[in-house]
């Protein structure tokens, strides 16, 4: 019995991948199928459901006014961060905008740290000073979010330049949304990346809606994967974690040899653009429900596991309950953490060898950073 269990635990399964669209790239180069194991699928399910519980829990705490300021939730888009991180390593640089709780988690931040940051507590990823949009982890080369639309993109090209300058075998993944794709700085940065053949992967998370409007009303060219010309592009299914994984594996290898590549990831957000946006004034509830029922990334991976008979529905429910309890505990523990000391207002912004002066007000205590 033990031998049978051992053999089953290492058996692999083959899955066909949804076909990707290409621009200036031979479609035959892209993966059309992949193999995976029960262990991998369970890991992806665990991470994706953890991310969803972080988002659902954040929603509840925001409505209770325990989380303040801007808060952008990514439930519905979990397969992107999980699939991407299965293909690259923490030696590859990553920079994004907002809606970055999944990226923060996959780059090593614990749910406790994520909640502490959103609650404004000292134990948070950025000492409680950044909030939902400003997670950061230098140890895992996660250069965080950016509250200014599109501002992270030139910085991401700088990260790609540094990798090439230092002759490192890694890429810079530069994430932005369909709304930011219309920013002029995107194309200035892309131009430089193409000229210098930098290992930059431009990733457009196309969830079909910007702040209060659809892509069709905001973008003259809504085929974002074609926007990087002369850099080639691909458009992939962002609701299938295996499709994300395999196309990012291809993208990393291609970019290291050839330079910039654009990836448009077709996905969908269940919440509004931010917590101040109900999300149903420019789309209807039926559309959201239809997407949940037909293209949910977590249900997709559950189906893969159930199809192969590796787990039962009861085992999945047990796993989900365990994760839900862990996330609730992490949030309550984070809420009980201390707020930052007032001195933190003056840290990380000025040279500590000089007297601190902010708007002509001198702060006399010694500041250390």
Which class for 3: exposed (0-12), middle (13-18), buried (19 or more C-beta within 10 A)?
exposed
Q: Could you report the per-residue pLDDT of 39-96, keeping only the tens digit for each? A: 999 999 999 999 999 999 999 999 999 999 999 999 999 999 999 999 999 999 999 9
For 131-181, write each residue's pLDDT tens digit. 999 999 999 999 999 989 999 999 999 999 999 999 999 999 999 999 999
Nearest to 103 by CA among 72, 70, 149, 66: 72
The count of structural domains within the chain is 2
Residue 197: exposure state from Cβ atoms within 10 A (0-12, 13-18, ≥19): middle
Verify that 195 and 88 share a domain, yes or no.
Answer: yes
Angle between the 38-63 and 78-87 helix axes, to the nearest 10 degrees?
140
328, 349: one domain: no
Residue 360 pLDDT greater than 70, yes or no: no
> Is residue 351's pLDDT more than 90?
no
- At 355 the three-state DSSP class reads coil
Q: Please tell me whether residues 80 and 98 are part of one structural domain.
A: yes
Together in a domain, 260 and 150: yes
The C-alpha atoms of residue 271 and residue 288 are separated, in whole angstroms, by 9
pLDDT surpassing 50 at residue 5:
no
- Mean pLDDT (the chain) is 92
43 vs 242: CA distance, rounded Å: 12
Interatomic CA distance for residues 264 and 233, integer angstroms: 8
List alpha helices for 18-151, DSSP H: 38-63, 78-87, 101-106, 111-118
Of the candidates 300, 313, 307, 331, which has an alpha carbon nearest to the alpha carbon of residue 115?
331
Q: For residue 345, name the pLDDT band (cuts at 50, 70, 90).
A: confident
Note whether 31 and 79 are same-domain residues.
yes
Using omega within 30 degrees of 0 as the cis cutoff, is the peptide bond preceding 196 cis? no
Give dist(CA 254, CA 232) in Å, integer.
10
- Give how far Cα 155 sits from Cα of 93, 158, 292, Å: 11, 5, 35
- Mean pLDDT value across residues 346-355: 67
Residue-level pLDDT at 359: 64
Same domain for 97 and 220? yes
Contact 334, 119 (CB under 8 A): yes
The kind and range of the H/E element at 173 are strand 172-177
347 lies in the same domain as 331: no
User: How many whole angstroms separate alpha carbon 111 and alpha carbon 231?
Assistant: 37
The CA-based angle 197-137-203, given to 5 degrees, is: 40
Map residue 307 onto helix, strand or coil: helix
- Based on the fold, state whether residues 282 and 349 are members of the same structural domain: no
What is the CATH classification number for the domain harbouring 333? 3.40.50.970
Dist CA 160 CA 202 (whole Å): 11
- In this structure, are 232 and 290 located in the same domain? yes
What is the pTM for the complete model shown?
Answer: 0.92
- Examine the domain organization and report whether 291 and 346 are in the same domain: no
- Is there a single domain that holds both residue 305 and residue 369? no
Range of the domain at 21: 2-338
Q: Are residues 364 and 317 in the same domain?
A: no
Using DSSP's 3-state secondary structure scheme, residue 363 falls into strand
């Amino acid at each position: 019995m033990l031998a049978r269990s051992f053999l089953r635990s290492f058996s692999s399964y083959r899955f066909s991948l949804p076909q990707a669209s290409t621009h200036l790239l031979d479609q035959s180069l892209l993966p059309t199928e992949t193999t995976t194991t029960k262990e991998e699928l369970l890991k992806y399910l665990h991470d994706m459901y953890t991310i969803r519980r972080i988002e659902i829990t954040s929603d509840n705490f925001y409505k209770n006014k325990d989380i303040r300021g801007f808060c952008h939730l990514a439930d519905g888009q979990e397969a992107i961060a999980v699939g991407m991180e299965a293909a690259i390593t923490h030696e590859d640089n990553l920079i994004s905008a907002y809606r970055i709780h999944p990226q923060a988690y996959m780059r090593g931040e614990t749910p406790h740290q994520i909640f502490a940051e959103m609650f404004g507590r000292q134990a948070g990823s950025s000492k409680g000073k950044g909030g939902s949009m400003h997670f950061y982890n230098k140890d895992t080369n996660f250069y965080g979010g950016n509250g200014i639309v599109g501002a992270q993109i030139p910085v991401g090209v700088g990260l790609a330049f540094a990798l090439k300058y230092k002759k490192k075998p890694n890429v810079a993944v530069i994430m932005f949304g369909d709304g930011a794709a219309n920013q002029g700085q995107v194309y200035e940065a892309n131009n430089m990346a193409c000229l210098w053949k930098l290992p930059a992967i431009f990733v457009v998370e196309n969830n079909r809606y910007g702040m209060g409007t659809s892509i069709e009303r905001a973008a003259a060219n809504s085929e974002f994967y074609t926007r990087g010309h002369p850099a080639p592009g691909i458009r992939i299914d962002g609701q299938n974690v295996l499709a994300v994984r395999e196309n990012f594996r291809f993208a990393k290898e291609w970019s290291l040899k050839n330079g910039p590549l654009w990836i448009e990831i077709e996905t969908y957000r269940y919440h509004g653009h931010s917590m101040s946006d109900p999300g149903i004034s420019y789309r209807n509830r039926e559309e959201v429900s239809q997407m949940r029922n037909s293209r949910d990334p977590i249900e997709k991976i559950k189906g893969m596991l159930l199809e192969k008979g590796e787990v039962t529905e009861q085992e999945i429910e047990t796993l989900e309950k365990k994760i839900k309890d862990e996330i609730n505990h992490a949030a309550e523990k984070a809420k009980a953490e201390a707020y930052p000391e007032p001195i933190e207002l003056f840290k990380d912004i000025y040279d500590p060898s000089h007297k601190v002066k902010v708007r002509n007000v001198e702060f006399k205590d010694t500041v250390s950073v």
